[in-house]
Amino acid sequence: MSRRGTPSPGDGAPPLTHRRVEVHRGASGRDADAVDDALALEVPVALVYNGISHAVMMASPADLEEFALGFSLTEGILSHPHECYDLEVHEEPGGLTVQLSIASQRLAELKERRRSLAGRTGCGLCGTEALDQAIRPIPRVRAPALDDDAIQQALGALADHQVLQAATGATHAAAWCEADGRVRLAREDVGRHNALDKLIGALAREGGPSDGGFALVSSRASYEMVHKSASAGIGALVAVSAATSLAVEQAEQAGLLLVGFARPGRHLIYHRPVDASSARAQGC
């Protein structure tokens, strides 16, 4: 796979720009001066499969190969990384394009999905005709026997992997953490879904999630975040903010360990599968 024109951690700088801004201080705001402020880059990214444009996403222009691969897997466009034969990132006048070459069977299924969208209006869950189609089936996963100390250790280390957030205050992060709480991989993006897709793409390139590990996200745990995690074979999701009701329901269906409001010294366990509870009690 090749890539062109997009910054990455290896390029030595996060994807950001700077702008001169006014800073007002005091209750009245009368004390003011001007400073340079770092801004996280947000650009249109088009995903093109075998020459067919499928979606345009607003994203941070880093780790786009991993983003495209992760998105393709979590959206069901691909069922396995090896179904993506090639991937290239190109600069365009209006943004960036990720060109993916995928298996012919997957392309045929994608075309059929696109045909089902023709003639429809409205927004929201595109491609659905009835309420029972709004929520996709979620695969079963195996939840690890996650220790509370591991969650807290990973949480304490997350900030060290948020270079873009430290510079701009405008991005989310998704991290893969080992069973002992060590953060092994982390990806950032202006969008929480994008950050998780980037992480999932990075994991897919390494052979998938490791046993006993978990994903940590700097956002809430929504339906989409739980579904993406389970689709990638991730058995535990820890979120810094709350979980939604549908996220908990989906975690129960998938057998996924779901933790929210992860803050220093405390976290909430919304769902712990019985098998994970038993293994934890036995010290496995």
DSSP per-residue string spanning 185-200? EEEEESSHHHHHHHHH
DSSP per-residue string spanning 145-181? ---HHHHHHHHHHHGGG-HHHHHHS--EEEEEE-TTS
Catalytic residue among 84, 123, 177, 284: 123
> Whose structure tokens read 């290896």?
10
Q: Is 187 annotated as a binding residue?
A: no
Of 105, 100, 106, the C-alpha closest to 49 is: 100
Q: Is 71 annotated as a binding residue?
A: no
Active site residue 123: yes
Q: Is 264 annotated as a binding residue?
A: yes
Q: Is 261 annotated as a binding residue?
A: yes
Please, are residues 115 and 231 in contact by the beta-carbon 8 Å criterion? Answer: no
Q: Burial code of 47-73, b = ≥16 C-beta within 10 A, e = fewer?
A: bbbbeeebeebebbbbbbbbbbbbbbb
DSSP per-residue string spanning 43-66? EEEEEEETTEEEEEEEE-SSSHHH
Q: Which residues are annotated as a binding site?
A: 261-266
Q: Which residues are designated catalytic?
A: 123
